[in-house]
Each structure stands twice: as structure tokens, then as C-alpha cells.
């Protein structure tokens, strides 16, 4: 999660025909079909059948198919076994895209807020530090467990190594690299030629600092009223975050994060654990060295700016309702 997956997925579906000419199937009419199928196989629902339809399309298609959905990463052993067995006798290769921890701390906090959580920025960072895997202790922070469940790439790769035929780590290029570099790396790992493909336009789905804080306050207030996640998930994420507050991004400072010593230590430990696994590598282990994120500390954002973002969200929801 938060390692270039949206860019890769959009590029795959925008180049379905070009990939088909290479004998590569991108199953599903659109990415949401893959997402529903993955959710179905991870948590089988009686009579859903989305995963069965996807695997049937794969079995009847060309020799190679690509499924991309980040929920597969931290899946439990039983679900992983179910995925691999359902694809047999095909060879199953896993590609895990990995980005440096510091950029992901900033990105994943926003993602959790958009998904209905209300941990403060400080609480989230403290939880991630307390729960880092190299400490080898049971974390007592829900925020920390949530972060590392998605970001402990070594644990994720190790889980899939026991079931898949091959696991490849693709490191995200350093900041400033051309977007095409990630597509080319993913293509090398997944076994197709990226040269004829047109990369998707990079999608910046982050919010400004004030908007993220306003959404966090909404979530906390809703929870106090007994409306915790997943209640109103579509309204919170797809409408308020993506349609309304995302439009304020250019007028708000982004959330920044310097590289703290514990992040350096955790990044080094993660790289060493990954290097000890029998995984292939596309990119460089040096890409995982943490880099600072330019922006502001959310604690320094004036309350007036947060209130303005909250008012913009309210006005946007009312406008959408009146126009519908």
C-alpha cells in the first residue's frame, strides 16, 4: 500500500490492448473488478463468485496474466494458500513494490484518515516507532500495528515465499525519477515489455495538511456519535476526501516529515531482512534509504485553516446534494 500501486494499476488497464498483443491478460473489465475479486478470495462471501470469475478468465486466456491489488500483500497464510491453490496449475509469481518508510509514514497516515480512522499525527508516529518489527515485542498501539501490517515488506515477502513460485521486490525510484521508471521496473518483474506502453498520468491523491486534519476531526466526531468506520466510507473517502478536499491541495501546505533516527534504523533493519530472503530484486536496495518529506508539521497548522477546510467540505457536500 502507498508504493505506486495506483499508478501501476492505472497503467495496466490503460494499456490492456497493448499488453494483450504481447500475450498478457489484464483480467477484469476495470480495476474495481480485480479489487472485488481479491476481497472475495481473502474473505469468501457465500455466493459472491467474483474470484472464481476472474480465475476462469485467466484460465481461458493467454499464457500470462497480471492481478494487482495491494490487499493481497499482508494476507494471512490461509488466504495466501487459497489464492495460490485457486490458480494452479499455473506458475504464481509475486511482485512486491516497496517504497522508503519515511515517505510512507506521511502517505499512510492520510490513507487511514480517509478510511475513517482518527489517530492524531503524533499518535500515529509514536505508534509506528513503538511497533517497529526489529524490536521484537508485541505492540500495544493499534496505529502502530496498522502501519506495520501494511509496511513490513520483509514479513509480507516471507509469507508469500512459502506458497508462490517466485517473489520479486521492486523498489520505487528515488524522488525526482521519471514516472516511467516505475512502470519499466514493474514490467521487468512481471515479464512483459514496457516499451510500447503509455504510462498513466501520476495521480496525487494526498490532501493538504489542513484538509487532513479537518477530516480526522470529522471521523472522531462521527465515532463519538456511534458512527465508526466503515459507516459512511463512500461519503468520507470518495466524496469528501477525493472530490472536495483534494481540490484544495494546491492552496494548502502538505504534511512534512524529517527523517528521524528511528526511521533510519528501521529502514536499515528492513533492508537487511529483505536481503536475507530468497527474493529477486528489480531496482536498488539503496532506494529504500529514507528521504525527508517537504512540508509542515500538522501540529503547526493554524486552527483557522483547519476550520476553513471543514467549512469547504460541508459546503461541497451540500452543493453535491442540491445538484443531485
Q: In whole numbers, what is the pLDDT of the chain averaged over residues?
A: 95
Q: Which residues of 70-91 are buried (b: 16+ CB within 10 A; e: fewer)?
A: bebbbbeeebbebbbeebeeee
CA distance 220 to 216: 6
Global pTM? 0.94
pLDDT value at position 26? 98
Task: Tell me how far apart the 2 most distant CA atoms of the chain are, in Å.
Answer: 60
CA distance 11 to 278: 28
pLDDT value at position 179? 83
* 3 state DSSP class of 14: helix
10 Å Cβ neighbour count for 275?
12
Residue range 89-102: mean pLDDT, rounded:
97
Residue range 38-57: mean pLDDT, rounded:
90
Q: Name residue 282's beta-bridge partners.
A: 170
Q: Judge whether 171 and 95 are in contact, CB under 8 Å.
A: no
CA distance 184 to 172: 11
For the stretch 154-179, pLDDT in tens is 999 999 998 999 999 999 999 999 98
pLDDT at 195 over 70: yes
- For the CA atoms of the chain, what is the radius of gyration? 20
pLDDT value at position 98? 98
* Alpha carbon 7 to chain centroid, angstroms: 11
Place of cell 517497529: 132
For the stretch 220-270, pLDDT in tens is 999 999 998 888 888 999 999 999 999 999 999 999 999 999 999 999 999
Amino acid at each position: 500500500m502507498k508504493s505506486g500501486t495506483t499508478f501501476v494499476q492505472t497503467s495496466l488497464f490503460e494499456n490492456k490492448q497493448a499488453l494483450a498483443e504481447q500475450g498478457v491478460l489484464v483480467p477484469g473489465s476495470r480495476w474495481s473488478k480485480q479489487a472485488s475479486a481479491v476481497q472475495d478470495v481473502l474473505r469468501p462471501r457465500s455466493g459472491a463468485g467474483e474470484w472464481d470469475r476472474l480465475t476462469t478468465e485467466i484460465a481461458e486466456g493467454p499464457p500470462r496474466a497480471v492481478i494487482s491489488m495491494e490487499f493481497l500483500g499482508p494476507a494471512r497464510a490461509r488466504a495466501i494458500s487459497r489464492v495460490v491453490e485457486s490458480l494452479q496449475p499455473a506458475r504464481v509469481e509475486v511482485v512486491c513494490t516497496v517504497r522508503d518508510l519515511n515517505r510512507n509514514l506521511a502517505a499512510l497516515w492520510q490513507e487511514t484518515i480517509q478510511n475513517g480512522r482518527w489517530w492524531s499525527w503524533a499518535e500515529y508516529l509514536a505508534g509506528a516507532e513503538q511497533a517497529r518489527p526489529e524490536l521484537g515485542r508485541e505492540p500495544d498501539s493499534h496505529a502502530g500495528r496498522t502501519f506495520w501490517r501494511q509496511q513490513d515488506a520483509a514479513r509480507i515477502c516471507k509469507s508469500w515465499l512459502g506458497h508462490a513460485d517466485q517473489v520479486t521486490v521492486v523498489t520505487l525510484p528515488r524522488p525526482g525519477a521519471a514516472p516511467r521508471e516505475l512502470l519499466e521496473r514493474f514490467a521487468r518483474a512481471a515479464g512483459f515489455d514496457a516499451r510500447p506502453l503509455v504510462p498513466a498520468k501520476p495521480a496525487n491523491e494526498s490532501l493538504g495538511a489542513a484538509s487532513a486534519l479537518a477530516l480526522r476531526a470529522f471521523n472522531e466526531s462521527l465515532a463519538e456519535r456511534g458512527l465508526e468506520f466503515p459507516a459512511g466510507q463512500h461519503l468520507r473517502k470518495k466524496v469528501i476526501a477525493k472530490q472536495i478536499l483534494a481540490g484544495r491541495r494546491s492552496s494548502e501546505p502538505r504534511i512534512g516529515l524529517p527523517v528521524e533516527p528511528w526511521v533510519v534504523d528501521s529502514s536499515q533493519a528492513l533492508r537487511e531482512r529483505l536481503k536475507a530472503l530468497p527474493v529477486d530484486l528489480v531496482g536498488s536496495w539503496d532506494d529504500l534509504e529514507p528521504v525527508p518529506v517537504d512540508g509542515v508539521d500538522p501540529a503547526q497548522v493554524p486552527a483557522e485553516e483547519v476550520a476553513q477546510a471543514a467549512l469547504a467540505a460541508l459546503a461541497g457536500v451540500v452543493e453535491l446534494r442540491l445538484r443531485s
